[in-house]
Structure 1
């Protein structure tokens, strides 16, 4: 997407699609019923979407890992009741092997919406205290991003995704956010230098 208006329009469309999907699929209601709350975070929560991907954070104690394993069946049933099908579900217990986002439980889901658009959804369960800390940090980031150059972020996201094996490997969404907030440049090459991935 080479046009700022087109990028903005697409991001706005994705925001509305996300809201509709989370409600009409029953997914958000199911998670709130089981865990008390579910927060939409990441690009969907920051209104910086460049593709159909949703991140949800929940408070979930580590000793609920077996219950968490059963969550995929409940999600599949909930989607099926609304005419949707769960295509893929991948489980991870990151308490056993913490990744860069820390210790927690995770489901990565793939399914199509009512218009047959493909979506991915990462659902993360963190210890309640850890979840609260993350929520506070997330609120600060949301406030900072509200005054950032939205089109710069959207453009860099689209450009990064167009490079094979680049997004999520060389640079992440968080790299792009911090790069924009720091006013460190306007290109992926400058971002790489800012991150120290290439020599000055």
Structure 2
């Protein structure tokens, strides 16, 4: 049963990654961001080939002074999707330079829409100050290298299990927590992950 579950999880991840690639090409989103900002990188679960749900993370270099241009992207993205026969359902704009997060400030769009098969997608788009973007890309490259030596199914299983618990994923543990946990070889269960993080201690 465990082997079958692992096979199913691998199939889901492969299917989702194929869907993500097709979506980015057919909508023209990645090309749009690349043309505008010179570089756009798919990171997160889609970039690491560890997808469990329909979620995309796209990062690019963008100076904080371009906040006005970034704010206007919402309408441009909506029009781009409409031109492909899709409708932007929700878009959340954030200028995180106003109240910077301890981990860094950036410009953000949270996009939600359905693909051509009527599947819902969430797309988190971040614009970072160019030097900060380069630093983040270097960190991301190190994480990708570390993840390549990890038990891939362990990560997929923990992500599925975390997602299945109400109010758990993103609130108690994040995907990044799971990645770090796997890289550290600190255990095999969410309970061990919580202990490793020091939750409840």
Q: TM-score, normalised by structure 1?
A: 0.97
Q: Does 1:188 pair with 2:186?
A: no
2:89 counterpart SS class: strand
Question: Which residue is equivalent to 1:127?
Answer: 129
Q: Does 1:161 pair with 2:160?
A: no
Q: Structure 1 CA distance, aligned partners of 2:138 and 2:58?
A: 15
Tell me the CA shift for residue 70 of structure 1.
Answer: 0.4
1:48 counterpart SS class: coil
Q: Does 1:116 pair with 2:118?
A: yes
Q: Structure 2 CA distance, aligned partners of 1:73 and 1:99?
A: 26
Q: Write out per-residue CA displacement over residues 98-123 of structure 1, whole angstroms, 9 at most, x where no aligned residue.
A: 23542000000000001000000000
Q: Structure 1 CA distance, aligned partners of 2:173 and 2:101?
A: 16
Q: Does 1:88 pair with 2:90?
A: yes
Please tell me the root mean square deviation across aligned C-alpha atoms, in Å: 1.0
Question: Which residue is equivalent to 2:107?
Answer: 105
Q: 5+ residue gaps in structure 2?
A: none
Tell me the CA shift for residue 178 of structure 1.
Answer: 0.6
1:10 counterpart SS class: helix
1:60-79, aligned counterparts within 5 Å? 60-79=62-81
The verdict on how the C-alpha distance between 1:116 and 1:176 changes in structure 2, with shifts beyond 3 A counting, is: same
Q: Structure 2 CA distance, aligned partners of 1:57 and 1:171?
A: 22
Q: Structure 2 CA distance, aligned partners of 1:146 and 1:81?
A: 38
Q: 5+ residue gaps in structure 1?
A: none
The verdict on how the C-alpha distance between 1:101 and 1:40 changes in structure 2, with shifts beyond 3 A counting, is: farther
Q: Write out per-residue CA displacement over residues 7-46 of structure 1, whole angstroms, 9 at most, x where no aligned residue.
A: 0000000111010000111111110110011000000100
Tell me the CA shift for residue 140 of structure 1.
Answer: 0.7
Between the two proteins, the alignment pairs up a number of residues equal to: 198
